Amino acid sequence: MSQQYMLHVNGVDHEVTDGWLGESLLDTLRDRLGLMGTKGACTQGECGSCSVLVDGELVCSCLVMAATATEQEITTIEGVAPAGAPSDVQQAFVDAGAVQCGFCTPGLIMAVHDLLERSPEPDGTEIREQLAGNVCRCTGYGRIVDAVQQVSVRRAGSGSSS
Amino acid sequence: MSVDERTDAPPRAGVLGDSITRPDGIAKTQGAFSFSSDESVDGCLFGATLRSPHPYARIVSIALGPAWQIDGVRAVITADDVPGQPTYGLIAHDQPVFASEYVRYVGEPIAAVAADGPETARRALAAIRVEFELLEPLLDPEAAIAGAHDPVHPDGNVIRHQRIEHGDLSVAGDIVVEGTYEIGMQDQAFLGLEAAIAFPDDGAALGNGGGIELHIATQWLHEDQKQIAACLGLPAEKVHVVLGGVGGAFGAREDISLQVHTCMLALRLGRPVRMAYDRGESFLGHVHRHPTTISMRHHATADGQLVKIEARFVFDGGAYASTSSAVLINGITMAQGPYRCPNGEIVGWAVRSNHLPCGAMRGFGAVQACFAYESQMDKLADACGLDPVEVRLRNAMVTGDTLLTGQRVLNVAPVEECIRQTAALPLPNTPVGGVPLPDGEVDVMQLPGGAGRTADAGDVVRGIGWGVSIKNLMYSEGFDDYSTARCKLADGVATIKFATAEVGQGFVMIATQIARTVLGVDDVVLDTIDTGVGSAGSTSASRQTWMSGGAVDAASRKVRDQLLAEIAREQGIDVNRLAIDGTDIIDTAGSFRLSVTEASMGRSFDEEVEYRHPETFDLDERGQGDCHTAFAFVAHRAVVDVDPELGLVKVVQIATAQDVGVALNPLSVIGQIEGGIAQGLGLAVMEEIIQVDGVIRNANFTDYLLPTFLDMPPVVAALIEQPDPLSPLGAKGVGEPPCISSTPSIVAAIRDALRSVGVEKDLDRVPVRPGDICL
Amino acid sequence: MPVAVPRSLDDAVRLLADEPDAMLLAGGTDAMVEINDGHRRPGESVIALNRVAELRSWSHDPATGTLTIGAGVTYKELMNDPIARWSPALAEASRTVGSPQIRAAGTLGGNVGTCSPAGDALPVLAALDAQVRLVSSAGGRTLPVSDVMVGVKRTSIEPGELIADITIPAASGPQGYAKVGVRNAMVIAVASACVAVDSEAKSVAIALGSVSPTVVRCPDAESLLAASVDWQTGSVDIEIVAAAIARVRSRAQPITDHRSTAEYRSHAVGVLVQRLLRRSFRIESAGVRA
């Protein structure tokens, strides 16, 4: 049976007209709303590639039933910064060599923004624990930790966030 | 004044040696980079594959009718619909596009459907009725070798057998150590799942000679093109392959997976069709690292110098041959490791079974060999009363030494340097049990077990272990290994075209850096990666920097030389005096200087060049022959904290010095080193595809465990830059060495930690499981 | 109505009364995995519980010394103060769950409802004799968590009932949780345990996870310890601990599967309990501190 409902994504209302009841938010974002930035690599909540914010909480969109996410603020990677005007986190990832194939990258960017919001100066262990839900197969994580630390230091120095 | 004396100018950015950033990096961070799984067009249909649930069975009947009844199902195809060659393969063409008579592994494709959407496609698959006669699967490689099981394939149960005999086989050592080692099946587990979209040419239909364009994430566009064309019964030119964004590869994309199926469906319908695998299907849909059993016996003098190695390798290739025969050769030809050894007898088998097919994974046979020979070297150290570093230094290979195949290693071979520089890297300064939190409490996240809070600091002991390895670069055994690049220069802009698959490793950076360096222009554009230019060979075997880098370099030089020739003619200067200096053309013996950009205005150059490496040769029946091209070396030292009672492990640090020739992009090299080490760590302690009675039990990321941020330690790395005179850019490939000796270094560290509490464990199998450590 | 997102418990109960077979969805961290894998269909209707205000709240009652936690409270909330202060073991267990993303969505009620023998919070609830309050349009009933967990992924919760809240005693002595998995984050427990000491009642509770069809208590080990601990000094003899561990191991009935072997699970659960006891008591050896 086809589902019809509204989702509020990146500040914009989207009508979903052809979803099915159990469809995940991940699939709905990609296949119904054409927002391809959020990636699916495991559909079990084990890799974090599908991470989005729902009402300010970092969650795996593959584990959210889209039809139940009505009247919630959903933020995807597309909502982090305008295209071509990357956030400081996004720029740091590129500068630090933290992007190889890039498949894990959108989910990681979401997780890092969330981490630095809650904990602006995380040490190495905290970074690793808070990002443990995001798996990367290419980088071995070293350059990613470096990117996070670069942003943290820069923000502290400038007294601003983002 | 020579070019070298002009020192006032700041170092030029963006050239070889610079750590430039990825041109696609920002797009990737913003979710704007298109992976093959992101590609779709309005009106395209969705394909899905029906797979065998049995490891070995005869297909009695296939009833497609019920699938056709479902509303929205547009096509159902089987082996009967394959217009061209019914089988394919990278070496032997032994793998059916669709099973027709037999299914030989769980997951083997039997049919495919195209439907209006994924849900409909899934229902169609569920509606197809296949009747099977179950057969006794061949699951024991020894049975395959002994001929104790009927052939499960017309080509027989032995894929390849090769011996190596070198020197005097009758010698024996004063010291003899032996062991039997097992390496489990590792999965490449790239994150970017398989996906493709096929666009049939106007009027094209299955079997009518019409062509097709396929967008696919792959490692080897031209090999895909060749195999697809053969199966479709088309000439290669009718199959245009375009690289879709690749979300990692690590060997799993070298073999065909959904390419032919997608093309067949699209041609059947005359409409675009896309296919995409989910994670469970991905585990079934690509090849894996060969599970391997290796018995080794090392003979040495009393002071630890190798005199002879005997070994027997058995690689379980699974149901189809893929690249098993080449993996076997890699394993056995480097069985001695990066060490000098005058005599040896190695026997190697790659066999067929009804397990999942195996093929290329980063390291390609050298990984398995290294776990065995490095475990042996530690046994040798013990037997001789030497420490692990000393025994390795005593046997370290140098340039000019000989492998047991009789091949001399002509590359730079800085094995001793790799070991010494690794040893010089500082050990971690965190105490066992981690740095206490400000309140004095133990930080559980730094202990083995992590958030599971399984240990207190006193439960943990630390060990240090070593691994050193050799890896061949490029392809071997006479394979015509080449790469092609096309360079155009016009009006100050260089355009480079290649079919080199960018899978995340960063070739798109290197190519740009080469062109900038050689041509002296900063404005370099990379053209679409597709089969519109000659083959670049595979993105594998750590070959692309050398081969495709060599091709881009050669094409750029050709264009540069033509530009210089024209300028020389026009300026009346001897062309041999002209050179590129930064972004200018200069007369090295005069005052002429003109920017390359200006010089190229109104001119246009276009050169396509094939780059080949020197010939390689087959092995004879005694395994003698110069079968490899070149070699790279690396050392790893692992520091591991172990909870001996629970068998849990936390790798605290990996130190490494890697022989890279020249670091063309140092940041990118570090990325390859860290990423490769993570995969080596995975094989050491957590990654294994578990098959029971030929059925995979963990085809998902809940139970196939990849290292997380909390499992992977910091890496300290030294780059050993001794430019290799045989390499076009002085650089060696860097992708594979990091995942080869990292695995045995971690296992050795675990053994060392256990020893410190009086426990001796062989740990002769990877991945090491907690029960192996504590029970 | 295929999808309902009630805001109050009354609304949720009423909706469930109309559709007793509706799928109840809290954090989705178990249910959506099954739907994504194709092992489960949502059926005709879904009632989302993650916006129900009462389910997201919790309270501490100083008079009874109990903590009542709404079924929709997430692991992320349970990990942190102020809840963590009242139940350190529950906070520890919550920290071991999945990843930050999973912890932000997964709920205590969901853990009970899924009733996996590896459920991370379940050994804590079992050790604390948690009381699970179920509500339906017919009223409500409260039962001990041990009566709710009846088998592997099977509860005694009837159609039309939903979990409203779970009540546990606030910590009145040392308590801790530990879980074994093959890697250092995001693992399904291969063995887990909770030890909760009630210094006032002079009792020790031990609950084991992943070593039997449901989480189990170890009454034989518990009674031995309760009788043998020197409650004045908080110490216990090493021989007693060894005997208690032997009883713990015989209580476990682990299986061998693709995640681990029965032998390892049995061994590991004993080590976990021994270490949790070591964290709770001073272990002494014939009068000498061990």
Q: How far is B656 from chain A (nearest CA, A)?
A: 14
Domain ranges of chain B: 13-33+482-612, 37-135+193-246+253-285, 292-475+619-774
pLDDT > 70? residue A162: no
Q: Does C272 touch chain B (CB under 8 A)?
A: yes
Q: Does A86 touch chain B (CB under 8 A)?
A: yes
B86-95, B319-328, C80-89, range with the lowest pLDDT: C80-89
For the CA atoms of B447, B453, B458, B460, what is the dihedral angle to 10 degrees? -40
CB contact under 8 A, A132 and C99: yes
pLDDT > 80? residue C287: no
Q: How far is C162 from chain A (nearest CA, A)?
A: 18
Predicted pLDDT at B439: 81
Is the previous residue joined to B767 through a cis bond, with omega within 30 degrees of 0?
Answer: yes
Q: Are strands B578-581 and B584-587 parallel, antiparallel or unpaired?
A: antiparallel
Express as a percent the part of chain B with pLDDT over 70: 99
Tens digits of per-residue pLDDT, B711-767? 999 999 999 999 999 999 999 999 999 999 999 999 999 999 999 999 999 999 999
Predicted pLDDT at B285: 98
Name subunits touching A (3+ CB pairs < 8 A).
Answer: B, C
Predicted pLDDT at B461: 96
Q: How far is B449 from chain C (nearest CA, A)?
A: 5
Predicted pLDDT at B684: 98
Predicted pLDDT at B616: 97
CB contact under 8 A, B30 and A49: no
Total residues found in chain B within this entry = 775
Predicted pLDDT at B432: 86
For residue B343, the tally of other CB atoms under 10 A from its CB is 21
Q: Does A128 touch chain B (CB under 8 A)?
A: yes
The Cα–Cα gap between B628 and B479 comes to 10
What average pLDDT does the structure give for chain B? 96
Q: How confident is the model at residue B570 (pLDDT cuts 50, 70, 90)?
A: very high
Q: Does A55 touch chain B (CB under 8 A)?
A: no
Provide the token pair at B351.
């066999």
- Closest residue of chain B to C37, computed from CA coordinates: B280
DSSP letter string, B411-460: S---HHHHHHHHHHSPPP-SPTT-PPPTTS---GGGSTTGGG----GGG-
Chain A residues with CB under 8 Å of B192 CB are 39, 41, 101, 103
- Domains in chain A, CATH or no CATH each: 2-79 (3.10.20.30), 88-158 (1.10.150.120)
Q: Does A150 touch chain B (CB under 8 A)?
A: no
Chain B residues with CB under 8 Å of C279 CB are 456
The Cα–Cα gap between C258 and B692 comes to 9
Option in A76, A94, A143 nearest B674 (CB): A143
CB contact under 8 A, A71 and C5: yes
Above 0.90 for ipTM, yes or no? yes
Provide the token pair at B490.
């016009």
DSSP letter string, C73-85: -BHHHHHSTTHHH
Half-sphere exposure of B426 (CA within 13 A, CB side): 4
Tens digits of per-residue pLDDT, C235-251? 999 999 999 999 999 99
| Mean pLDDT in residue range B627-638 | 98
Q: How far is A159 from chain B (nearest CA, A)?
A: 24
CB contact under 8 A, A63 and C37: no
Same fold, B13-33+482-612 and B292-475+619-774: yes
Predicted pLDDT at B1: 35
Option in C92, C182, C272 nearest B770 (CB): C182
B212-221, B432-441, B520-529, C164-173, range with the lowest pLDDT: B432-441
| Best C3, C32, C101, C102 residue to mutate vs chain A (most A CBs within 10 Å) | C101
Chain A residues with CB under 8 Å of C102 CB are 45, 60, 63, 133
Tens digits of per-residue pLDDT, B121-172? 999 999 999 999 999 999 999 999 999 999 999 999 999 999 999 999 999 9
Residues of chain C with CATH 3.30.390.50: 175-284
Predicted pLDDT at C185: 87
Q: What fold is seen in the domain B13-33+482-612? A: Aldehyde Oxidoreductase; domain 4 (3.30.365)
Predicted pLDDT at A20: 87
Chain A residues with CB under 8 Å of B710 CB are 128-129, 132
Residue among B198, B194, B207 at smallest CA distance from B240:
B198
Predicted pLDDT at A158: 83
| The CATH number, out of the four listed (2.40.50.360, 3.20.20.20, 3.40.50.620, 3.30.465.10), of the domain defined by the range C3-169 | 3.30.465.10
Predicted pLDDT at C86: 95
| Mean pLDDT in residue range A144-156 | 98
Q: How far is C258 from chain B (nearest CA, A)?
A: 7
Provide the token pair at B2.
């020579």
CA-angle at B76, arms to B75 and B80, nearest 5°: 125
CB contact under 8 A, A57 and C105: yes
| The CATH number, out of the four listed (3.10.450.40, 3.30.420.40, 3.30.365.10, 3.10.20.30), of the domain defined by the range B292-475+619-774 | 3.30.365.10
Tens digits of per-residue pLDDT, C131-140? 999 999 999 9
Residue among B515, B525, B607 at smallest CA distance from B558:
B607
Spatial contact of B604 and B487, defined as CB atoms under 8 Å apart: no
Predicted pLDDT at B300: 98
Tens digits of per-residue pLDDT, B392-449? 999 999 999 999 999 999 999 999 999 999 999 999 988 887 777 788 777 888 899 9
pLDDT > 60? residue B203: yes
CB contact under 8 A, A22 and C42: yes
- Closest residue of chain A to B700, computed from CA coordinates: A42
Q: In chain C, which among 97-156 make CB contacts under 8 A with chain B? A: none
- Note the Cα B516 to chain centre separation in Å: 28
Q: Does A110 touch chain B (CB under 8 A)?
A: no
Q: Which CATH architecture has domain B37-135+193-246+253-285?
A: Alpha-Beta Complex (3.90)
Spatial contact of B716 and B735, defined as CB atoms under 8 Å apart: no
Q: How confident is the model at residue B653 (pLDDT cuts 50, 70, 90)?
A: very high
Residue among A88, A107, A104, A103 at smallest CA distance from A150:
A88
Phi-psi region of A43 (alpha: psi -120 to 50; beta: other; left: phi over 0): left
Chain A residues with CB under 8 Å of B38 CB are 30, 36
Residues of chain C with CATH 3.30.465.10: 3-169
Residue among B656, B605, B661 at smallest CA distance from B632:
B661
pLDDT > 60? residue C289: no
Provide the token pair at A109.
């960017």
CB contact under 8 A, A139 and B674: yes
Q: Which CATH architecture has domain C175-284?
A: 2-Layer Sandwich (3.30)
| Mean pLDDT in residue range B552-563 | 98
Name subunits touching C (3+ CB pairs < 8 A).
Answer: A, B
CB contact under 8 A, A97 and B671: yes
